[in-house]
């Protein structure tokens, strides 16, 4: 697995050009002044998961994914803005499932409504939600 610093380029590339990201889709408890602060914060959170168990980070054609292997949990993901078409979104989902399988969970900030709606369209179900966190599950 690459180092945290090695992840930054993939994360930055996935988030670059998304003007809504910092206000609606990131940690609502932190105010980011620029994209680099957001990328650094995502990397800090990834580092915390790396200490919990076996994880994987993969740069994809369409973006990146980071997940825990046991339990299988999609922790962080980003789709490059130039792939945000119906075809690109479908390909990204297929890449996620090919890496994580047909049974995995995902925790997102509840204000990340765009990602939650997309994951629901892809077949994930909301199993728990409050003002802070929404937990989704895919079971096929």
Domain range annotation of the chain: 4-98
Q: Which strands form 103-109's sheet, in the order they lie side by side?
A: 55-59, 63-69, 72-79, 103-109, 133-139, 125-129
pLDDT above 90: percentage of residues in the chain? 68
Whether residue 2 is predicted with pLDDT greater than 60 in this model: the reply is no
Q: Are 106 and 74 in contact (CB under 8 A)?
A: yes
pTM for the structure as a whole: 0.91
How many degrees, rounded to 5, is the angle at CA 15 between CA 12 and CA 16? 75
Question: pLDDT-derived band of residue 136, with 50, 70 and 90 as boundaries?
Answer: very high
pLDDT at residue 98, rounded to an integer: 96
Whether residue 117 is predicted with pLDDT greater than 70 in this model: the reply is yes
pLDDT above 70: percentage of residues in the chain? 94
């Amino acid at each position: 697995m690459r180092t945290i610093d090695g992840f930054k380029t993939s994360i930055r590339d996935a988030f670059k050009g998304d003007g809504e990201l910092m206000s609606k889709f990131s940690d609502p408890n932190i105010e980011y002044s620029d994209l680099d602060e957001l990328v650094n914060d995502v990397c800090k959170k990834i580092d915390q998961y790396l200490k919990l168990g076996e994880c994987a980070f993969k740069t994809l054609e369409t973006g990146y994914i980071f997940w825990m292997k046991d339990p299988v949990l999609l922790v962080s993901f980003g789709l490059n803005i130039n792939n945000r078409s119906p075809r690109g979104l479908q390909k990204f989902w297929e890449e996620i499932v090919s890496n994580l399988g047909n049974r995995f969970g995902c925790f997102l900030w509840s204000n990340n409504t765009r990602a939650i709606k997309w994951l629901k369209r892809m077949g994930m179900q909301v199993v728990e939600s409050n003002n802070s966190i929404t937990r989704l599950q895919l079971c096929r």
